[in-house]
Amino acid sequence: MAIESTKRDITRMNEILSVLIKYGFGNFVNRDLRSKYKIFSKVAPEAKEYDSNTRLRLVFQELGTTFIKLGQTLSTFPNLVGYDMAQELAKLQEAAPVTPYSEVEEVIEDEFGKPVDEIFEDFTKEPVASASIGQVHKAFYKNILVAVKVQHPHIQETIATDIRLMKKVAPYLNNVDTLKSYNIPAIIKVFEKDMRNELNYTIEAMNAVHMKDLLKKDEVYIPDIYLEASTSRVLTMEFLDGVSLSKVFDAPDSDYDKKKIATMGADSYIKQILIYGFYHADPHPGNIFVLDRDIVAFVDFGMMGHLSNDLRDDLANLFIFISQGDAQLLTKQLYYMGIIKDKNDFNDVQDEIIHVLDRYYGAQFNDISSVMRELVESNVLKDYGVVIPRDLMMVVRTITMVYDFGNELDSSFNTTEILKPYAKKLVLNKFSPKNIERQSHEFSMDLDYISKKIPNSIMNLLNIVSDDGQIKLSLASNELDSLNNIFTRIVNELVLAIIIAAIIVGSSLILHADIGFKLFGYSAIGLVGFLFSAILGGVLIILILTRGNY
């Protein structure tokens, strides 16, 4: 078995290296590799007709599923590989092999331990759709029409072999001067994790269930998942009687309310990103369906994005500052996020951002995604050491795709108008009682941890110093308690000051908003907030004055 595996690896490695040479990348295949795997291929004449980005796409396309998936992953790193290459790799089309029905039966029987007809009724022998990892068949499950996605046999072994070979080649490629900055081993590590998740249909099933729960009150639709009829290689879901978005693009305007579809789909994506922090990260037209009454439905939950609360808050600020065309606040936000590393570059980066914003603002600004894309993919920003986190890159990629399909459906489509209300809501939520309570709880946890660590840390430090023989100090237990109490009082007053500041900022935002009952022309809620913060401020001043300097 091991011999067969080794022989298969050698054959596949020979194929990979030969294809690289065929398309003009022979300079990356050094003598050791050529000798070890007996490579004698030459550059194909037609390869000279294409630029390097196109040739790389052709390499991935010819090498099949794993490399197509790798290329698609690289397309989400334009800040690393460059925008032109990312655009070219995004064109990669997944191969769609069709597995014979006899092999589909074997997969299902292996997974459930029983024949197909004991689980499903009227299981169609021909697939209704096929992709690189699996194919979909129609069937009935408990008298319900379902779509059964069955993984292609041996696809896991094929992908595992390719990733194993990628890891072997990666060190060689990483030693090439022009490739060192890409950190190829790290990219392959990320890719391996992505593929592990995508090959496990149980993860996709749970993603779909979670998304359906989040969006249950929205106008969009998520198909039901039948977990008892699903495994890591078989996924059973409700069959959607609709058409893919790609077909809606080409249909006459009279057949669909395209404006409604564009707005509904984009609204859902923005809500997933900013409100829930859990979003469908692969919004190509084949994964979006239109049902009766122009209802938008999502399928294929193998690739999902997860955003922390902090990143969602940061995104909300980015969206607002971009929509306002405020280069200074936008630059500050990127600095606070740690994306701009060197404060000395602040003014230069701000100037570059001003130039970007100036190109987009006209009579009506409706494409926030293009501004974000240019900012994160700008080679100019890269010159200042600005590195965009992958989580942010995936959001920008998703919003850009949403804008593209929205604009395809409706030429007047405006992402900015959809984004702004959710971004403002998220900013206001930072000052809600619930969020302040959560932040205070988190702060108190940190304080509790620090207060427990400080005495031991001080004693350890004193022990180290005294062992040196130069300084000898003694600190009684009651003095440590006194120090701890002073520190606790300081932090408590700091927490109170932060809460007062949050109430003041929140009240300022609410004061000028059209919210609730008005008093003297201003929101009564905002005025009450100011009054409450004034009272707390007075309490804080009294506490500080009465305690003196501790």
What pLDDT was estimated at residue 1? Answer: 42
Cα separations in angstroms, 104 against 99, 135, 312, 503: 7, 9, 42, 61
Q: Which residue has the higher pLDDT, 181 or 172?
A: 172
Q: Which of 128-137, 138-147, 364-373, 458-467 has the lowest mean pLDDT?
A: 458-467
Cα distance between residue 527 and residue 538, in whole Å:
17
Name residues whose C-beta falls within 8 Å of residue 209's C-beta, 6 or more positions apart in sequence: 225, 227
pLDDT at 3 over 50: no
| pTM, to two decimals | 0.74
Residue 285: the pLDDT is: 84
What's the rounded mean pLDDT across residues 493-521? 63
What's the average model confidence in pLDDT over 162-184? 78
Average of per-residue pLDDT values in the chain? 81
The pair of three-digit structure tokens given for residue 509, joined into one six-digit string? 């935002």
Q: Which amino acid is at 112?
A: F
34-48, 383-397, 518-532: which has the highest mean pLDDT? 383-397
Which residues contact residue 25 at a Cβ distance below 8 angstroms, ignoring those fewer than 6 apart? 55, 56, 59
Nearest to 416 by CA among 319, 347, 501: 319
Candidate from 70-74, 254-258, 389-393, 432-436 with smallest mean pLDDT: 432-436
For residue 2, the model assigns a pLDDT of 47
pLDDT of the residue at 325: 85
Token pair for 81 = 């590989």
What is the identity of the amino acid at 520? Answer: F
According to the model, what pLDDT value does residue 546 have?
Answer: 67
Nearest to 325 by CA among 261, 416, 392: 416
- Which of the four pLDDT bands, split at 50, 70 and 90, describes residue 455? low
Which stretch of DSSP H or E encloses residue 145?
strand 144-151
Per-residue pLDDT at 397: 82
Token pair 């564009």: residue: 262
pLDDT greater than 70 at residue 226: yes
Is the pLDDT at 29 greater than 90, yes or no?
no
CB-count burial class (<10 Å; 0-12, 13-18, 19+) for 4: exposed
User: Binning pLDDT at 50, 70 and 90, where does residue 138 land?
Assistant: very high
Q: Please report the pLDDT score of residue 516 as a whole number.
A: 62
Instruction: Return the minimum-mean-pLDDT range out of 139-148, 192-201, 418-427.
Output: 418-427
Does residue 477 or residue 424 have the better pLDDT? 424
Stretch 536-549: mean pLDDT? 65
Q: Is residue 168 predicted with pLDDT exceeding 80? A: yes
* Residue 290: predicted pLDDT: 96
Whether the per-residue pLDDT at 363 is higher than 50: the answer is no
Answer for the pair 66, 94: CB distance below 8 angstroms, yes or no: no
Which structure tokens are listed for 527? Answer: 């005025």
**Phi first, then psi: what are they for 123, rounded to 5°?**
-70, 120
pLDDT at residue 432 is higher than 70: no
* 6-15, 214-223, 482-491 — most confident range: 214-223
**Assigned token pair, 485:** 């109490």
Radius of gyration of the chain (CA): 29
The full set of domain ranges for the chain reads: 1-94+159-194, 96-158+195-239, 245-431, 440-472, 478-546
Q: Decide: 188 and 274 in contact? Cβ < 8 Å.
A: no
Residue 20's pLDDT band (boundaries 50, 70, 90)?
confident
Place of tokens 């809600």: 432
The tens digit of pLDDT for each residue in 270-308 reads 999 999 999 999 888 888 999 999 999 999 998 899 999
Instruction: Quickly list H helices, 367-472.
Output: 368-377, 379-383, 390-409, 415-429, 433-467
Q: In angstroms, rounded to a whole number, what is the distance separating the alpha carbons of residues 95 and 91?
A: 13
User: Residue 443: which pLDDT band, with cuts at 50, 70 and 90?
Assistant: low
**CA distance from start to end of the chain:** 75
Give domain 96-158+195-239's CATH number out of 3.10.20, 2.30.30, 3.30.200, 1.10.30: 3.30.200
Measured CA distances, 254 to 103, 177, 261 (Å): 43, 56, 13
